[in-house]
Structure 1
Amino acid sequence: MIQIAIVDDHAIVRTGLRQFLGEQVDLRVAGEAANGREALELVRQTPVDVLLMDLSMPGQGGVEALQAIKARYPELPVLILSGFPASRYAPTLMSQGASGYLNKECDPQEIVEAIRVVARGRRYLSAEVAQLLAERALGDGGQAPHEALSERELQVFLRLARGEAVGGIAEAMHLSVKTVSTYRTRVLTKLGLASNSELTHYAITNGLMD
């Protein structure tokens, strides 16, 4: 029996997934969480074989949660189920340890197949994600500027784009204000932007924010 934890900030999504996955004879939903911090607590307390996680969540979102979870539980498969197109995040997240990336518009049966694959210690690559990874490896595919950001830079970028202040970001990420300011400068430079408002516009234009 594969024990699954569902991480999504929408209760209706968690309920739907729980019901659907519960119909599979080899799958069992062991717990639910609404954000990354709750997911970490859940994994500490409950035996989990696969973490099925959204990206866009309040507080600690999926990008930060993936980093934190893989740092503590490197062998735990994390399967991303997101409303964002794979082209926006999949290559970066796969390089950071995600075991697979699915769009919420996929066939529900594909979610089941992906869970079974990653539970065996393998990665699940949809045709779209496989193509994206191949293009990145070959240096083809017109990499967007934000795809060149490091993990920390991407986290700071997304928080700034949501309107969070540098001080608040520093506290949330357990960094100094000076360090966050340095990341901000790097992000602006790499993206060729000049202000936080331009960061927000970039994130919206490139589909990185709801």
Structure 2
Amino acid sequence: MIRLLIADDHAIVREGLKQLFALTSDITVVAEAMNGGEVLERLRGGGIDVILLDMAMPGISGIDLIRRIHNHDGAPPILVLTMHNEPQIARRAIKSGVVGYVTKDSEPEVLLAAIRRVAAGGRSIDPALAEAMLFESNAASEQPPHEQLSDRELQILQLLAKGLSVNEVADALAISNKTVSTHKARLMEKMAFHSNAEMVRYAVTAGLVE
């Protein structure tokens, strides 16, 4: 039996997933979490074979949460289930250590197959996304501008673009507001942003925020 932790801040999504898994004979949901803090708390209890993770939850989330999960001894494999189907976001997630990446518009069979493959020690990427990643040029000149940002800078860009203040970003990431301001200044310089409005427009256009 594959013991699953579902991490998603939307209750209706969690309930829908539980109904799907209830129809299987080899997958059971043993824990749920609606934010990054709860994910880390549930991990301390053990007994989890796979984490099904939404990358866009309140508080600790995304690449930062993935790295914190990996800091746990014997951390289970992470399968991302997300709305983001952009190749560059998937690449960052995979680079940070996830072993599977499925988008929420995938067919149920694709998700079930991914869970089983990840639980067995394999890797799984949404087929349509894998194709997009395969054919996407790796030439630096053709990469989107935000690819030059560090993971932390990109994370802060996304949070600021969602409307969070510097202090709110600092609280969400458990870092100082001075550190946030420093990263913000660097990313503004790298991206040649002259205002917060430009930053928000870019993030929305590039699909970095929902």
Q: How does 1:1-210 map to 2 (within 5 A)?
A: 1-73=1-73, 75-134=75-134, 138-139=138-139, 142-210=142-210
- The whole-number CA distance in structure 2 between the counterparts of 1:4 and 1:54 is 13
- The whole-number CA distance in structure 1 between the counterparts of 2:76 and 2:141 is 30
Identity of aligned residues (%): 39
Q: Which sits farther off after the overlay, 199-208 or 104-113? A: 199-208
- The whole-number CA distance in structure 2 between the counterparts of 1:55 and 1:12 is 17
Contact 2:63/2:96 (8 A) holds in 1: no
In structure 2, give the amino acid aligned to 1:43.
Answer: L
In structure 2, give the amino acid aligned to 1:87.
Answer: P
Q: Deviations over 1:147-195 (max 9, x none)?
A: 3322211221112112222233223323233322221122112222122
Instruction: Name the SS of the counterpart of 1:147 in structure 2.
Output: helix
- The whole-number CA distance in structure 1 between the counterparts of 2:5 and 2:94 is 19
Q: 1:137: how far off?
A: 8.3
How many residues align? The count is 210
In structure 2, give the amino acid aligned to 1:97.
Answer: G
Contact 1:91/1:132 (8 A) holds in 2: no
RMSD in angstroms over aligned alpha carbons? 2.2
Query: After TM superposition, where is structure 1 displaced by more than 6 Å over at least 4 residues in a row?
Result: none
In structure 1, give the amino acid aligned to 2:68.
Answer: A
From the superposition, tell whether residues 179 and 74 of structure 1 become closer, same or farther in structure 2 (CA, over 3 Å).
farther
Instruction: Name the SS of the counterpart of 1:56 in structure 2.
Output: coil
Q: 1:6: how far off?
A: 0.6
In structure 2, give the amino acid aligned to 1:160.
Answer: L
Q: Unmatched 5+ residue regions in structure 1? A: none
- The whole-number CA distance in structure 2 between the counterparts of 1:41 and 1:120 is 24
In structure 1, give the amino acid aligned to 2:120.
Answer: R
- The whole-number CA distance in structure 2 between the counterparts of 1:202 and 1:26 is 43
Output the TM-score relative to the length of structure 2. 0.89
